[in-house]
Amino acid sequence: MERKQQLKEAFFTQDEETVLKKMGTTQKGLTSNEAEKRIIEYGPNELDQGKNKSIIVKFLEQFKDFMILVLLAAALISAIFGNITDGIIILVVVVLNAVLGVYQEAKAEEAIDALKKMSSPEARVKRDGNVISLKSDQLVPGDILLLEAGDVVAADLRLFESASLKIEESALTGESEAVEKDVTVIENEKVGIGERLNMAFMNSNVTYGRGEGVVVGTGMNTEVGKIADILATSEETMTPLQENLNRLGKYLTVAILIIAVVMFGVGMYNGREWLDMLLTSISLAVAAIPEGLPAIVTIILALGTQKMAKRKALIRNLPAVETLGSTDIICTDKTGTLTMNKMTIEKVYFNGVIQDVKEDIDLGTQVVRVMTYSNDTQVANDGTLIGDPTETAMVQYAIDKGMNVQEELSKEPRIAEVPFDSDRKLMSTIHQLPDGKFFISAKGAPDELLKRCTQIDNKGKIAPLDEKTNQTILDTNHDLATQALRVLAMAYKIVDQMPKDITTQGVEQNLVFAGMTGMIDPERAEAKDAVRVAKEAGIRSVMITGDHRDTAEAIARRLGILAENQQGGVLTGTELNQIDDNDFASRVKDYSVYARVSPEHKVRIVKAWQKAGKIVAMTGDGVNDAPALKIADIGIGMGITGTEVSKGASDMVLADDNFSTIVISVEEGRKVFSNIQKAIQFLLSANLGEVLTLFIATLLGWSILAPVHILWINLVTDTFPAIALGLEPAEADAMKKPPRGRKATFFSNGVLPSLIYQGIFEGIITLFVYWWATNNPVHANDVELVHADALTMVFATLGLLQLFHAFNVKSIKKSLFTVGFFKNKAFNLAILLSAALLSVVILIPGLNDAFSVSPLNVEQWLLVFGAAISIIPLVEIVKFFMRKFSNDEQ
């Protein structure tokens, strides 16, 4: 059923009367009949599920990859011309790869499902002039919604009443502090979500006070709904690994077709039978296509995910392992990722001096007494502090210094209060003292509180607050504020009689200034070192947050994202709105910190870096991060503080929410790519050796290897060593090199020339053995036995040659004697297993007949073994000159 469109206006710029009129309601709320009509017109207040593809469609889509199509073609041709085994093996590999792809895709669809489950179960609304509770999915535009501390906002509201209302919106805006709401009309239409103080947004949390407002958006028409829509419609980006595999498949296909056609033509020109040459060309295709490559890459990636899981990095999308290794930019949320997501007192000013939080403090000092008395924090049975983050920070400070806050409050209980008010920016409480007197405790904005102070407490002595001292306090407040600390002042007085007028006039006058506190959401202890290591690895950290500019800049400097004396580098969401996409893409490198941003800004930032050719990782934990997480080359969600939405949209989830885990993961990702490169170098150099052997043999008129020989060699000598190469340890300098970048391929860093010369060596050595075997026959009088011996020696040589060559690719340029022969136990076992499987078809009667090979004598085996192992010293010589002339010690 088609739903009626909801109004999409900047309601925060309109007064209460205008909004109520446009929404067709009054302060008494809708009638039940009108609400029933609107639920039919607009639909329930929930997020769209979205249309999920069927399993069959998902499965078929896995076959769009170019390499997969090439392999399917090879399987079909092999089967048509009798090589059923070849076709079956290739088909099994392709199907297995598709099944794994479907599994990974199913995981990615959890993002929208998680968003749908985040709605509040109950809401209090006015209907027919009465306040009732109903399921939040029954809310409609025009409903009057009531809010109080502890509520989850069930829809987007235009507030028209706010009594000290504070709403925590970090999951939507990224701002760590609860936002104090104000019903005043906002003139500027372009302000970000975090600055729309007269609005309340779906799925945010009320932490203090109460409020009332009219529902102006439900379901997909809320700010959270917009995020859900972005998630559902955003295009998936292809990972560098997928791009590289696609390119590799295209290169191989072109090369295979050219060589096969040329070889077929040469054979026909030399008078060979066309069917014989067609089968020979198919043999060449089988030799050229690394049919096990997709499976081997998948296995290497899977092995990488297991290692990363042990280090608290959980991979949801296999290619993400490799993508991490190529990351140029980490766009990271501040709150909860680089910081603790917990307000903490850092400085305390009293007795005329600023004291660091690490220093001891006399618990009898009045500033400590005030910060715990004028405070609404509740202590749960398990010791957890419940309340506004700013107030819980004060109580936590006192507890950490050894105060039993509950015991002190029981001795001097609160008997009255003047609640916090956004106009005066103060809060006061009155406590009964054991001697019958009354202790008035007040805290609030320093400039406002100082207006009500006439004296100052200095080491327990009360003195008049003169103008000079007052200015010193204001200057100290300014200094703390420039350090991005949130500053609150403390004051008190002791009176003989209970004030009769419990108002600001009757209570908050003639106070004694006690001191100030400076607090901040502090950076994680390990984050600074992680940023430094990332910088050494050529990775740029970019902070994106909903917090204020000064706070973001201060944290960035403390972490090293901004240099201490660096000018600029910070951009706000409002400033970003003034820059078009093309201009921003050209200037994105100028900024390392973004403050007061919205979800749309985050997507723009990621896209701008991608347009600059960079591979971008995005970390995040809030709902607002999900679109950018999905569109980034790799999205990194937080496992502890992260919402289910952010986890569902991510490629990787940090189980410990530790920024340093990302750096560990980058190192693992670089190792994985390096090992995939080694596997590809091994496979393609071996296949090139096979192709050259077949091609040159055809030119010379030699009948040298049948398709079954090529297939068996590929099966037993390619797969196990290639997989074992995936277990090679990371090279010591892996994190001292810059990212390889989006333009890098599997052939970068010397891989292409290496696999070419190594493939040529393999071809030459194999052809030499055939030539020697036919010119120095053991059975000189039997032509068939001479051919069988020569074919068997070529078969054994080519297989063992590839196994010995596997040792060469442990490093592209480093000497094998530097890397070490036996450090990778799995690799050594793989070589032994492959050698055994290769040998059994020669040594076991019956099997050798099936493969058209014959047993060899000792002299023949010695030649085969000597020829095969010669690949190691030959490659070592070339590596020596590569290192010498490239001036590279790799």
Query: Cα 657 from chain centroid?
Result: 11
> CA distances (Å), 210 to each of 104, 150, 164, 167, 626, in order?
44, 10, 7, 10, 30
- CA nearest neighbour of 740 among 664, 811, 674: 674
Contact yes or no for 717/839 (Cβ under 8 A): no
CA distance 157 to 860: 87
Per DSSP, 4 falls in state P
Q: What are residue 860's phi and psi, to 5 degrees?
A: -65, -40
Distance CA(180)–CA(171), nearest Å, equals: 16
- Nearest residue to 216 via CA among 379, 74, 16, 40: 16
Contacts of 872 (CB under 8 A, 6+ apart): 804, 805, 807, 808, 816
The C-alpha atoms of residue 769 and residue 793 are separated, in whole angstroms, by 7
* Full DSSP string of 181-249: P--SPP--TT--GGG-TTEE-TT-EEEEEEEEEEEEE-GGGSHHHHHHHHHHHPPPPPPHHHHHHHHHH
Angle at the Cα of 728 from the Cα atoms of 725 and 730, rounded to 5 degrees? 140
The answer to whether 200 touches 181, Cβ cutoff 8 Å, is yes
Cα of first residue to Cα of last residue in the chain, in angstroms, is 64
* Distance, CA of 818 to chain centre: 35
**Which one of 65, 86, 143, 333 is the catalytic residue?**
333
DSSP 458-516: ETTEEEE--HHHHHHHHHHHHHHHHTT-EEEEEEEEEESS--SS-SHHHHSSSEEEEEE
Cα dihedral 324, 326, 329, 335, rounded to 10, equals: 10
Q: Is 645 left (phi over 0), alpha (psi -120 to 50) or beta?
A: alpha
Query: Catalytic: 466?
Result: no
Phi and psi at 589, nearest 5°, equal: -70, -15
Please give the full DSSP string across 615-639, using - where no structure is assigned: -EEEEE-SGGGHHHHHHSSEEEEES
Distance of CA 424 to the CA centre of its chain: 43
The residue type at 17? E
Closest to 764 measured CA to CA, from 695, 813, 853, 858: 695
Active site residues: 333
